Structures are given as C-alpha cells and as structure tokens.
Amino acid sequence: MTPSAAPHGPREPHAPREQPATGRLSAVQGTALYVGAVLGTGVIALPSLAAEVAGPASLLAWLGLVVLSAPLAATFAALGARHPDAGGVATYARHAFGERAFAVVGWCFLLAVPPGASAAALFGGAYVAAAFGGGTTTTAVTALVLMTGVTAANAAGLKVTGRLQTVLAVLLVVLLLSAVALSLPDARAAHLEPFAPHGWTAVAPAAALLVWSFAGWEAITHLAGEFRRPARDLPRAAGAAVVIVGALYLLVAFAVITVLGPAAGDTEAPLGELMARAMGTDARFPAAAAAVLLTTGAMNAYYAGAANLAAALGRDGALPPWLSRGSAAGEIPRRGLGLVAALGLASLTAVLVTGVGTDRLVLLTTGSFVTVYAVGVAAALRLLPRRTAGHRAAVVASGAVVLMVAMSGVYLLWPLAVATAALLYRARRVRRAVREPLPEPRVVAPRRPSE
C-alpha cells in the first residue's frame, strides 16, 4: 500500500517487503559479477560497429562513456548499499515514487534481458562459427548452448555463480590484455587520420550504440542482498569494476582503430582480427574462447539479477505471486529464473525466424536500460542523503542520463510500451483485490496465566 492510501482503501495485492542482507558474495566476487555484466559482449562486436559509424572519432564516444560510467556506478552502488533488496532499481523507484514506478522499472529491466541475452548469445555464436565453420547453424546452436548453460549455473545458486564469475573474469582480463599487447606492435598512427571521416556529429550515434557496452551498473543491485556486507562490499566492487572495465574498453577500442585501420568498421569480429594479427590465422580459436567467456559472464550476471527481480516483482504484486518463491536473500529464485530463460529462448527463436539484425536488439535493449537508469538516478536524488558521495555522484549521473535519453531517440518507444503494459497489469490486479472480500479477522483468545 502506498503511504498516501487510506487504511480501508483499495488494497495492494501484496505489501512490499525488503529482505535483509544475509548473502555470501564477497567484494571480489561482486567485482567479477560487475565486470561480467558491464564488459560483457560489448567488446566483441561494438568497437567495429562504432568505428563504422564515426571512424577513429568513436574513441571519443568510448572515452566519454567511460567517464560517465563512474558516477552511474557510484550512484547504484550507494543505493544498493542502503537498500539491499532483490527488487534492485525497482525497489528504489518504489521508495522514491510509489508502486507504479516499482512496476514500470521492474518490467523494463526484466523485459530488456531476453532480447539482450539473444544478442549476446548470437555475438558469441558468430565467433564460434568463424572458428569452426557451420555458419548460421553453428551460431544458433552455440547461442542455445550458452543460454542453457547459464540457466543451469544460476539454478545451482549464487554460491556457484559467484565462483564461476570470478574464474571467468580473470580469464577475460588475461585474454583481452594479451590480445591488445600482442597486436599493438602493428598499430599505426596514420590509421587515426582522418579522425572524423563522417563528421563530428557521428560521435553521438556511435555513443548510442556503445551505451550497450556500459549497461550493467544497475544489474548487480538486484543481488545487493546477496553480499556479505553490502554497505562495504558493494561500493568497493563497483569502484574496482569501473577501473578494470574502463581500462579494458579503451585499450581494445584503441587497438582496433590503430591496428585494423580502415578495415576496423568492416569486420564483425574485431577481437578475432586483433588476435589474428598477433598470432596468425589460428587465433580464431582463442578469439572464439574469449567470445564465449565474455558472453557467458554477461549472461550469467544478467540472468542472476533478472531472476531475483522476477521473484521480487511476484512478491510485491507486479507479477503473478507464484513467481515470489526465492525472493528472500540466500534463496534460489528458480521460478523467476525459469521465466527469464523461457523469454530468452522465445526471443532467440523470434530473431532466428525473422532474421532481425543484432544491432536492432542492441538498441531496443539499451532503450530499456536508459529508462531504468533515468528513474534510478532520479530516485537516488530523492533517497540518498545530501552532501554524501552517493548523492553527489547522482547529481553528476543525472547529466549523463539526460545525454543517454537524447541519444536513444525512437528506441524509447519500446520501454514506453513495456511501461504501459506494466501499469495495465498492476491496475487489473488492484481492481481484482478490491473485488475480493477482505478476510475475516482472526480472533485469538487471550491466554490465562496458568497456560
């Protein structure tokens, strides 16, 4: 029930309940989850897509988003430390703006994960197909295997997921640094000219594509209650991840531009091309391994966050209550995970049948994440105490969000449609709750002293 509701007014289907933090994730495992969620598949394909749009000037888009990601990460870490709940940003939206905002943000995040997972899995599958052949069939089978494997890992619980993510993060950092270090001897300063072949205005659409690469700072908030000490470990994990992710993105993007030159925008597998320049043609196999690791890390983190969110939405009435099992910290939200996995497979099937390009999936997903960011930062400005580091970060992040919203353009229509569906569903549940008779109060006889 919202604070303004009268005691005997319309009942909310479920009263909101935040869960105390009783989890097992350490700061190191949290850093690994952040790195997997944010680094993800962006580094596989987006350096070449951005180079195609803006040429070497795309490096400015990368740098700008690295700088803007720091206050975003700090904002959501501060919120997660103060409100550790499976609802994540949706919970913060409720505290700041009420139940409708809770439903809208929850649905926007939840329904962004399936198309995002489809795009990620297909990115990884394309690398495997390039290494082993088989074309579209290999790509599709690899995507299906990745989705199934990530679902199984999350079904085993966050203890397994956290350890897996730590191993993946270490392997990813080693592979990416090796690819950059071995390819940089082939870098040429001449490849930076002309710096802006498509004009300076091309930097903005390149940055719109790259927002995908920096989505993820909000994803771990759904796991805040799973940290041992959220107030301490969550900000530490976020800070370490900002440094690691920012450095790796800039290094890879610089290497793609200066090593591949004009061909940077023509390849679908820039990381593989870097490895091929450094190691020879057989580098397609380690490139495929890197792509699979990157894809698994991103999907693993997002499936974990989305499953927890689905359980929280079921717990608090924004989705059917049968999804609520597993919403408490330390529990495994298997029903929520099943919903996320089913929607992911449905999205993958639709993409394969219709032939929709992955760039469209990327932009649809980023439109939803930008919406989540916008409401989350607005909630932070209300909830975080003034003159604290978290509130100051939120003030800076609000400017970043305004830029992201402006760059998303027409792709904000998708989260608008999702928000409408969320509000209609919530209104229907509230009407049903009003029609149901209130339960008879249970009368308990007082105990006599002798009892």
pLDDT of 144 strictly over 90: yes
pLDDT of residue 40: 66
3-state secondary structure of 253: helix
Residue 423's pLDDT is 92
In this predicted structure, the answer to whether residue 17 has a pLDDT above a threshold of 60 is no
Q: Is the peptide bond before 321 cis (omega within 30 degrees of 0)?
A: no
Sign of CA dihedral 96, 389, 82, 376: positive
Query: What is the pLDDT averaged over residues 342-362?
Result: 82
pLDDT confidence of 37, banded at 50, 70, 90?
confident
pLDDT digits (tens, 9 = 90+) for 289-306: 878 877 887 788 788 888
Q: What average pLDDT does the structure give for the chain? A: 79
Whole-model pTM? 0.74
Q: Spell out the residues 6+ positions from residue 54 whose beta carbon is closer than 8 angstroms to its own.
A: 60, 61, 196, 198, 202, 203, 205, 206
pLDDT given for residue 72 in this prediction = 85
* CA proximity to 53, closest of 248, 193, 194, 196: 196
- Summarize the confidence of residues 428-445 as an average pLDDT: 59
Tens-place pLDDT, residues 235-293: 888 888 889 888 888 888 898 888 888 777 666 667 777 777 766 666 677 778 878 87
Rounded to whole angstroms, the Cα distance separating 220 from 80 reads 8
Q: Report yes or no: 395 and 72 within 8 Å, Cβ to Cβ.
A: no
The residue with greater pLDDT, 438 or 270, is 270
Residue 229 tokens read as 């000490």
Query: CA 87 to CA 310: how far, in whole Å?
Result: 8
- Asked if residue 19 has pLDDT above 70, the reply is no
Q: Which residue has the higher pLDDT, 335 or 164?
A: 335
Distance CA 372, CA 106 (A): 8
pLDDT at 268: 64
Residues 240, 241, 243, 248, Cα dihedral to 10° = 140
Which residues have a Cβ under 8 Å from the Cβ of 156 and sit 6 or more positions away?
332
> Which of the four pLDDT bands, split at 50, 70 and 90, describes residue 145?
very high
Q: Tokens in use for 298?
A: 């991103």
Write down the pLDDT at residue 23: 61
Helices (H) and strands (E) in the chain, counts: 15, 0
Residue ranges of domains in the chain, CATH in brackets: 27-432 (1.20.1740.10)
Read off the pLDDT of residues 386-424 as tens digits, 9 standing for 90 and up: 988 889 999 998 887 887 787 777 878 889 999 999 999
Q: In whole angstroms, how far apart are CA 147 and each of 315, 358, 367?
A: 26, 16, 23
Most confident of 101-115, 169-183, 206-220, 284-298: 101-115
Lowest model confidence (mean pLDDT) among 203-217, 274-288, 329-343: 274-288
Picking from 209, 221, 216, 208, the residue whose alpha carbon sits closest to that of residue 241 is 216
- Averaged pLDDT for residues 59-64: 88
Check pLDDT > 80 for residue 8. Answer: no
Q: What is the pLDDT of residue 306?
A: 87
Written as six digits, the tokens of 424 are 């209609």
